[in-house]
Amino acid sequence: MPRRKKGIVTLAFDDAYLDTYKHAIKYLDKLNIKSTIAVPASFIGKRFENRRLAGLEELKDNLKRGHEIASHTLTHPNLSRLSLKDKNEMISEIVESKKELEGLLHNKVNSFVFPYINKNQLGRGGLNLPYLLKARPYYKSARFTADSPYFNKIPVKNPYSIIGFAIMKKHSLSYLKKQVDYAEKKKCWLIMVFHLVGEKNTESFHRPKPYRFFMHIDVFRELIDYILSKDIMLLTQKDAVKNSS
Ligand SMILES: [Zn+2]
């Protein structure tokens, strides 16, 4: 029986910060909502950009509760800055991270998430093909990240060039609600990418300023409650690709 077409929201947590686990992901668990958590495999339980990442126990707990763990490379390099002669490094970041995560978690890793905002590749209207080709044999989908809202079409034409929207503290709750409204109305797929969600922000690793990719947990809760009030599906990256292709 054909499914009625509906919009989709994916909640994605890039970098798997421990604070985000404690606050945001635990809140989702109470509501039985599943998210996609993108982990740089070499930093599990360690510090990354001066913030602690979730450890293996937390990631296993996420899996048990139905969240998806996606690969976010091994060491979080900016792959778009690697030159062709770093090809082996690039392949290892994409391929070895999957093996590493699958070995640690005893669970299949289906989705890949490219690190950093991929402004340049996306801006020219095309994605950087060599990277896509590298990920294709190993993953069922690969996601890039933009710094403005992006609405992926359903059905998804190319699951290796889906795009997420990196939410920053400058984005107001009412602005974010409008993006959800749009995805509902146009029946498209909005991937909301969070980084640090908690009670307190931290200093940015790259500049002497507060971290730009922070959201207070109270705002996050309000946003989730709003999404739940809409006629829209909340799916992981893996399930959204399955559902909409
Ligand atoms: Zn990242």
- Centre of ligand 1 to C-alpha 113, Å, is 8
- Centre of ligand 1 to C-alpha 2, Å, is 36
- Centre of ligand 1 to C-alpha 117, Å, is 9
Q: List the structure tokens of 95.
A: 């391929």
Measured at the CA of 145, the angle between CA 135 and CA 123, to 5 degrees, comes to 100
- Centre of ligand 1 to C-alpha 214, Å, is 13
- Centre of ligand 1 to C-alpha 185, Å, is 30
Q: What is the per-residue pLDDT across 88-108, written as a single tens digit (0 to 9) for each?
A: 888 889 999 999 999 999 999
Q: What is the per-residue pLDDT across 7-50, written as a single tens digit (0 to 9) for each?
A: 999 999 999 999 999 999 999 999 999 999 999 999 999 999 99
Q: Considering the chain, what percentage of its residues have pLDDT values greater than 90?
A: 79
- Centre of ligand 1 to C-alpha 141, Å, is 17
- Centre of ligand 1 to C-alpha 81, Å, is 15
State the pLDDT at residue 240.
97
Q: What is the per-residue pLDDT across 118-138, written as a single tens digit (0 to 9) for each?
A: 765 554 444 555 666 677 899
- CA distances (Å), 51 to each of 8, 40, 122, 207, in order? 30, 13, 28, 15
| Domains detected in the chain | 7-244 (3.20.20.370)
State the pLDDT at residue 178.
98
Position 57 pLDDT exceeds 50: yes
- Centre of ligand 1 to C-alpha 25, Å, is 17
Rounded to the nearest 10 degrees, what angle do helices 87-105 and 56-64 cross at?
A: 70
Cα–Cα distance for residue pair 151/187, rounded to 1 Å: 9
Position 206 pLDDT exceeds 80: yes
pTM, 2 dp: 0.94
Reduced to 3 states, what is the DSSP secondary structure of residue 161?
coil
- Centre of ligand 1 to C-alpha 165, Å, is 13
